Structure 1
Amino acid sequence: MKLKKVLLGISLCVSALSFAQQTKKEVLFTVNENPYYTDEFVRVYNKNLDLVKDDSQKDLDNYLNLFIGYKLKVNRAYELGLQDNKKYQLELKNYRQQLSKNYHLDKEVTDELVEEAYNRLQKEVKAAHILFLLDENASPADTLRVYNKAIEVRAKALAGEDFGKLAQQYSEDKSAKENNGELGYFSAFRMVYPFETGAFTTPKGEVSKPVRSRFGYHIIKVEDVRENRGDITVAHIMLIKSKDTSDEDNAKLKNRIEEIYQKLKQGEDFGELAKQFSQDGYSASKGGLLEKFSSGSLSSEEFENRAFALKKSGDYTEPFETEYGWHIVKLVKKHQLQSFEEVKEDLEGRVAKDDRSSVIAEAMTEKLKKKYPMDTDKKMYSKVLTAVNDSYYTASWKLPESADSFNKTLLTINNDEEIKAWDFLEYINKEQKGGVKAKPLNRLVPILYEKFCNEKLNEYYDKNLENEFPEFAGVMQEYKDGLLLFDLMEKEIWDKAKQDTIGLKNYYNAHLNEYRWGKRVDAEVISSTDKKIIEKARKLLKKGKDIASVKEELNTNGKINVIERSGVFAQDDEMLPVLDKWETGISDVVNKGDYYYVINVNKVLPAATKSLDECRGRVVNDYQQYLESTWIDTLKKEFTVKVNNDVFEKVKKQLNR
């Protein structure tokens, strides 16, 4: 999906609409008699003028070629019928849903919630709770009953009874039997919003009044409040294990990590050891350095706690095990919490996905009610009310046998959208299978109808976004074409490069010199910071000792003096020392940085051409680029392009002013 976004970004650079400048509309060129106009070209050019890095693309003649090439691709896509593809239509629908979300937000309410969330993120609250289950649409009588029960238990806690025992006795949260209602430390976004609000507004050491969430009522005891731990940057050395790792293999991993740890204690450099021995391919080449993270960011709480427990930069942990493997973690830097401006955008996204979104939605719905008048036909509403009976509560209620009498307008929105009573009946039918269960019916139906009206009101607003907001219409057109071009590229270029075995092989044969192995060696590499130790290792190798024997003799009294790597290495591998000549046998002692090496070369592998299977991924990628580079020329032969040069000259004069 990331690749798709990149490619769409490229296509949007030449397809984006801008309303900043108007120009006289004339036909600039045609593709198979389909006209493309000057106003679009001028808008696109002006919008993208500051985006292109290649000055040649700012040249109007070159840009016209790019623009024509883009339109050729669009024509090709429509010729192939890609616009009718269900996957394309679904992608477009999903994108519209994502894009429209920003237009369904009440900015004032959103800003307040974002600021509140930021303030709460400065702290972490430790709390316990007691839950009293209650349906969201419970009757007033049931609501009062459960509320009074919560008040009664709260009074016991305020009188000094042990909160944990009260949780065991009264809480309807099943985990309370084991954890006494304890939730540990948490910050904003970790709990449902009403619960979070209750916890953050209750002083330390006190018990909250009953707090209503979608689960029921809670009473919350705030046990501690501490400063948020912020962000942290660490480096690590990792030996990976999987679910299938045997006890024997895990023991070997543990032994290896302890060897590395011993070398650290002997003063060897953490980064160098990470480069040599860490199996985390992402961080090893960077000396084990990881991107900064905060509490809850990683999938391993053990890793986080070990990291945050380090006090000073340069401190490192003892070896420890997680479900992912064995680790040694070094503290690089602890970071203060970011400023509001730095995290505002991220918080806006989190608020939109959190329970807080319901607060925003309610505020937005109230605004829409003022913008778009709604009118209910009372006679049809009464008729619907008589069609619903108590079988709804057992999910056995059925729609009336005939829809004809209900196929009349029940709700009118903004005097132009009419919604039939049957639509509401179908909504009720769906709700009985797990929705609102309020009793009695004369209370249930109004609740359902209010929800139904709110949904239809928001749907009406959503359907009219293109009419309400020209910029929304423009972006949708951009994405529509961008998705179409992505599907076209996939069909015409990427899939072809993978499936065209003859073309791929011909391309590979024509570019053999680009796919070669450098000189390599099959070798065992022994390293140490002590030159004398390496000299001893070399003598032992000369006597025919194997690697295991060398390690056993030199790593004594719990001290790791030597450590080894074996395998096939490129002779110019940056982790290997430089030898004047690579040849089979045991090398002299060589130095690189703080380390001394001796290398037992089993075999020297000469430079050679890679087989197609050995470099297929790269060849496919190169072949794709080749096909794309020749694609426009092919399209120009398939389609007839006619440029109105007189009109283009006028456009150039206008844009060059």
Structure 2
Amino acid sequence: MKLKKVLLSLCLCVVATMAAQQQNKEVLFTIDGNPYYTNEFVRVYNKNLELVKDDSQKDLDNYLDLFIGYKLKVNKANKLGLQNGKKYLNELKSYRIQLSKNYLTDTKVTDELIREAYERSKKEINASHILFMVGENAEPADTLKAYNKAMDVRKKILAGQDFGKLAAQYSEDPSAKQNEGNLGYFSVFRMVYKFENGAYSTPKGEVSMPIRTRFGYHLIKVNDVRENRGDITAAHIMILKPRKEDAEQEAKAKQTIDEIYQKLKQGEDFESLAKQFSQDKSTAPVGGRLNKFSSGELSSVTFEDQAFALKTEGEYSKPFQSEYGWHIVKLIEKHPAKPFEDLKAEFEGRIKRDDRSKLIAASMTEKLRAKYTIDRNEKVYEKVLKTLNDKVYTKSWTIPADSDILDKTLVTINNDKQLKVKGYLDYLASHQTAVAPLKPLGKYAQNVFDKYINEELATYYDDNLEREFPEFGIVMEEYRDGLLLFELMEKEIWEKAKIDTVGLEQFYNKNVANYQWKQRVDADIYSSTDEDVIKKTRKYLKKGKNAEYIKEKLNTADNVAVIEKSGVFETDSDALPKQNKYKEGVSKIIQEDDYYYVINTNQVLPASAKSFTECKGRVINDYQQYLESTWVDTLRDEFTVKINQNAFEKVKKQLQQ
């Protein structure tokens, strides 16, 4: 709901002086013995001072009453158990997740990666590679074997042998047989991060040392580096290459594309020709229009080069052949590279979705390991190791049912949080498919243990954000109180006011003087910028003609000369042209600014009370406010409030300086 979004926005505007206000706090008042402190009152007063329009609420005595009233409502909500409601807890959890994002990531590393990605995005690299496949979690001997193979081939390249031919011979990338390892042009985020690093750090014309990615080792040769060409929106007409080699069919395809090109030169519409003749079924229905693309996104370098070679919008190429057939491409729009600020949010999202996110997580984990103590009970850990067996390698290991160490403390984090053996074993059992099958068994167990501790450290840190960062705790407290108050008001006031029909009518009858109509007229108002048209309108009205007749006579399909609106209007309404006296019948012509009016008044209605039905919405709103104002008084009777006057006098002096 909108109100809840407002609560979220307001809570994000925490003042910078918050930390200082934590000092020298005193109990300002208690509610049933629960203390509320001067620093919170000062902080809230200062934060809301500019938002308060009513000067009476700036008065400290009045503001204290308002503040106590607010806290009374929160106490009432807790007394009713609203803090345990599933809906409330879910919404509070959702808000906390959103707020905590900036605390749960290494913003410095993130910012560095964003800047790095932006600088790389300015360039496009044409590179070739030779892949020597080896599993990410391969045995050291297999890893070394792949590395040595890569080094042997690199020596051949440095000795002068052709990179492309060696790629076709040695690369374990299946496409290398056709493309000799050439990957074409690409920019940031197009390759896995480690490969991207290798490509961007290798000078043009040179070959990298073996670069390890999750696929294996790569030798990367940088063939060319150029400025980023940006993005492009284009359309094309395509005649497909024959499925089998057939000279006659190939000649026919060439003839067809040439004929289409001739039609274009004769002035025929590109979009229409694409719809009629293009054999690209996905784009023909939309006039050949392709989605916006950049270098390296399409599977044809030839097509990209032809498209980017076009200079002006609407320009189209001569027929050209790609590996897929014949094309004519038309430039619709060129999109230049965006500035850093426009790309920052997009790049941050992409970084969190690719391999770079592991760097951010690793940096955060390193900080947490340095921040907190991790005490492992080595004797217990030795017993844990004895519960494991080789079934973990077949993902069939289960926790021994007869184990007597499950409730033993395995780890203590920061002399505070205790992790039991069962927690670690549950983690190990559920992650058998996610952890590399390292040997020996002790190495496997340590690997799982490290991952387990990293996650527990992150959880511990998250659970203690309120304690670690006082400003975060204050914002969460504001959320908590605000959401509770929303739930309470909905339950005790808003819904009650809507369904309490007896109370509503009694409130209406008691306050009927507040729900009055002024003098009104039931009238038809005709207006035009042409005085002659209004004169004709008035004559028709005098003859008793209605709006339909008048508009039929004076309006045409191309020109609306007069318009009309009907209704009941209060005589001081801006919608009603002003007259000295309102009476039934047709008025004189009235001019206001550039418009001329004539009014046909059907009835003049004297000032009178509005019926309950006519003002029900306002009555409900007023009744809600009435219930709320009297409700606070009942809460003061329900709870015991004690104010520390000495502390309040100190606060007054502080705020009035």
Short-chain TM bin: 0.5 to 0.7
1:122-167 Cα offsets, whole Å, 9 max, x none, are: 3344556666665432221232344456567778888436489849
The answer to whether the aligner puts 1:640 opposite 2:641 as a matched pair is no
The answer on whether the counterparts of 1:8 and 1:486 sit within 8 Å (CA) in structure 2 is no
The answer on whether the counterparts of 2:168 and 2:178 sit within 8 Å (CA) in structure 1 is no
1:407-447 Cα offsets, whole Å, 9 max, x none, are: 33333334444433333222211111333322442432222
Aligned residue number for residue 40 of structure 1: 40
Aligned residue number for residue 250 of structure 1: none
| Partner Cα distance (2:33, 2:383) in 1 | 57
Residues 418 and 92 (structure 1), Cα distance of their counterparts in 2 relative to 1, 3 Å cut: same
Aligned residue number for residue 372 of structure 1: 372
1:584 corresponds to which letter in structure 2? E
Q: 1:210-289 counterparts in 2 under 5 A?
A: 210-220=210-220, 222=222, 224-228=224-228
How far did residue 398 of structure 1 move? Answer: 1.3
| Partner Cα distance (1:520, 1:132) in 2 | 85
1:640 corresponds to which letter in structure 2? R
Residues 23 and 460 (structure 1), Cα distance of their counterparts in 2 relative to 1, 3 Å cut: closer
Aligned residue number for residue 403 of structure 2: 403
Aligned residue number for residue 71 of structure 1: 71
The answer on whether the counterparts of 1:7 and 1:486 sit within 8 Å (CA) in structure 2 is no
SS where residue 551 of structure 2 aligns?
coil
| Partner Cα distance (2:489, 2:229) in 1 | 47
Aligned residue number for residue 583 of structure 1: 551
| Partner Cα distance (1:305, 1:622) in 2 | 67
| Partner Cα distance (2:123, 2:139) in 1 | 37
Aligned residue number for residue 383 of structure 1: 383
The answer on whether the counterparts of 1:132 and 1:217 sit within 8 Å (CA) in structure 2 is yes
| Partner Cα distance (1:404, 1:71) in 2 | 50
How far did residue 467 of structure 1 move? Answer: 3.3
Aligned residue number for residue 480 of structure 1: 480
| Partner Cα distance (2:229, 2:500) in 1 | 55
How far did residue 463 of structure 1 move? Answer: 3.7
Q: 1:123-142 counterparts in 2 under 5 A?
A: 123-125=123-125, 134-142=134-142
Residues 502 and 628 (structure 1), Cα distance of their counterparts in 2 relative to 1, 3 Å cut: closer
Residues 212 and 73 (structure 1), Cα distance of their counterparts in 2 relative to 1, 3 Å cut: farther
The answer on whether the counterparts of 2:377 and 2:410 sit within 8 Å (CA) in structure 1 is yes
How far did residue 397 of structure 1 move? Answer: 1.0
The answer on whether the counterparts of 1:127 and 1:199 sit within 8 Å (CA) in structure 2 is yes
Residues 474 and 76 (structure 1), Cα distance of their counterparts in 2 relative to 1, 3 Å cut: same
How far did residue 190 of structure 1 move? Answer: 5.0
Residues 450 and 205 (structure 1), Cα distance of their counterparts in 2 relative to 1, 3 Å cut: same
Aligned residue number for residue 533 of structure 2: none
Residues 585 and 99 (structure 1), Cα distance of their counterparts in 2 relative to 1, 3 Å cut: same
| Partner Cα distance (2:166, 2:11) in 1 | 60
Aligned residue number for residue 272 of structure 2: none
Residues 127 and 651 (structure 1), Cα distance of their counterparts in 2 relative to 1, 3 Å cut: same
Aligned residue number for residue 9 of structure 2: 9
Residues 10 and 412 (structure 1), Cα distance of their counterparts in 2 relative to 1, 3 Å cut: closer
| Partner Cα distance (2:87, 2:178) in 1 | 48
1:83-137 Cα offsets, whole Å, 9 max, x none, are: 1123433443444445444344456544543442332233344556666665432
Structure 2, unaligned stretches of length 5 or more? 234-267, 269-291, 317-329, 508-514, 527-548, 569-614
1:377 corresponds to which letter in structure 2? N
Aligned residue number for residue 255 of structure 2: none
The answer on whether the counterparts of 1:407 and 1:420 sit within 8 Å (CA) in structure 2 is yes
The answer to whether the aligner puts 1:25 opposite 2:21 as a matched pair is no
1:151-185 Cα offsets, whole Å, 9 max, x none, are: 6777888843648984997326xx98999988776
SS where residue 396 of structure 2 aligns?
coil
| Partner Cα distance (2:309, 2:347) in 1 | 27
How far did residue 583 of structure 1 move? Answer: 1.5
Residues 92 and 230 (structure 1), Cα distance of their counterparts in 2 relative to 1, 3 Å cut: farther
| Partner Cα distance (2:315, 2:496) in 1 | 51
Residues 636 and 13 (structure 1), Cα distance of their counterparts in 2 relative to 1, 3 Å cut: farther
TM-score by length of 2: 0.58
| Partner Cα distance (2:418, 2:431) in 1 | 22
Please identify the structure whose Cα radius of gyration is greater: 2
Aligned residue number for residue 251 of structure 1: none
The answer on whether the counterparts of 2:131 and 2:218 sit within 8 Å (CA) in structure 1 is yes
The answer on whether the counterparts of 2:11 and 2:479 sit within 8 Å (CA) in structure 1 is no
Aligned residue number for residue 199 of structure 1: 199
Aligned residue number for residue 604 of structure 2: none
| Partner Cα distance (2:331, 2:555) in 1 | 34
Residues 653 and 407 (structure 1), Cα distance of their counterparts in 2 relative to 1, 3 Å cut: closer
Q: How many residues align structurally?
A: 493
Residues 35 and 208 (structure 1), Cα distance of their counterparts in 2 relative to 1, 3 Å cut: same
Residues 45 and 329 (structure 1), Cα distance of their counterparts in 2 relative to 1, 3 Å cut: farther
1:171 to 173, 176, 196: 173
Over aligned residues, Cα RMSD in angstroms? 5.7
Aligned residue number for residue 89 of structure 2: 89
2:454 corresponds to which letter in structure 1? N
| Partner Cα distance (1:64, 1:72) in 2 | 12
How far did residue 76 of structure 1 move? Answer: 4.4
The answer to whether the aligner puts 1:362 opposite 2:330 as a matched pair is no
Aligned residue number for residue 394 of structure 1: 394
How far did residue 45 of structure 1 move? Answer: 1.4
Aligned residue number for residue 423 of structure 2: 423
The answer on whether the counterparts of 1:374 and 1:412 sit within 8 Å (CA) in structure 2 is yes
SS where residue 18 of structure 2 aligns?
coil
The answer on whether the counterparts of 2:130 and 2:218 sit within 8 Å (CA) in structure 1 is yes
How far did residue 300 of structure 1 move? Answer: 13
| Partner Cα distance (2:107, 2:41) in 1 | 34
Residues 410 and 492 (structure 1), Cα distance of their counterparts in 2 relative to 1, 3 Å cut: same
How far did residue 600 of structure 1 move? Answer: 12
The answer on whether the counterparts of 1:121 and 1:228 sit within 8 Å (CA) in structure 2 is yes
The answer on whether the counterparts of 1:12 and 1:479 sit within 8 Å (CA) in structure 2 is no
| Partner Cα distance (1:583, 1:649) in 2 | 73
SS where residue 404 of structure 1 aligns?
coil
| Partner Cα distance (1:161, 1:456) in 2 | 48
SS where residue 136 of structure 2 aligns?
coil
**After alignment, is 211-220 or 159-168 more displaced?**
159-168
Structure 1, unaligned stretches of length 5 or more? 235-261, 263-293, 319-327, 522-580, 590-596, 610-618
| Partner Cα distance (1:623, 1:311) in 2 | 66
Residues 204 and 418 (structure 1), Cα distance of their counterparts in 2 relative to 1, 3 Å cut: same
The answer to whether the aligner puts 1:338 opposite 2:306 as a matched pair is no
| Partner Cα distance (1:33, 1:306) in 2 | 79
2:551 corresponds to which letter in structure 1? E
| Partner Cα distance (2:550, 2:315) in 1 | 39
1:438 corresponds to which letter in structure 2? L
| Partner Cα distance (2:372, 2:201) in 1 | 37
| Partner Cα distance (1:631, 1:346) in 2 | 48
The answer on whether the counterparts of 1:368 and 1:458 sit within 8 Å (CA) in structure 2 is yes
Aligned residue number for residue 600 of structure 2: none
SS where residue 639 of structure 1 aligns?
helix
| Partner Cα distance (2:493, 2:305) in 1 | 48
How far did residue 501 of structure 1 move? Answer: 12
The answer on whether the counterparts of 1:392 and 1:432 sit within 8 Å (CA) in structure 2 is yes
Aligned residue number for residue 470 of structure 1: 470
Aligned residue number for residue 563 of structure 1: none
| Partner Cα distance (1:654, 1:109) in 2 | 42
Residues 198 and 89 (structure 1), Cα distance of their counterparts in 2 relative to 1, 3 Å cut: farther
| Partner Cα distance (1:39, 1:308) in 2 | 63
SS where residue 410 of structure 2 aligns?
strand
The answer on whether the counterparts of 2:77 and 2:485 sit within 8 Å (CA) in structure 1 is yes
The answer on whether the counterparts of 1:20 and 1:43 sit within 8 Å (CA) in structure 2 is no
Residues 149 and 17 (structure 1), Cα distance of their counterparts in 2 relative to 1, 3 Å cut: same
2:420 corresponds to which letter in structure 1? K
Residues 34 and 409 (structure 1), Cα distance of their counterparts in 2 relative to 1, 3 Å cut: closer
Q: 1:447-596 counterparts in 2 under 5 A?
A: 447-488=447-488, 583-584=551-552, 587=555
The answer on whether the counterparts of 1:519 and 1:605 sit within 8 Å (CA) in structure 2 is yes
2:369 corresponds to which letter in structure 1? K
| Partner Cα distance (2:10, 2:221) in 1 | 54
The answer on whether the counterparts of 1:411 and 1:418 sit within 8 Å (CA) in structure 2 is yes
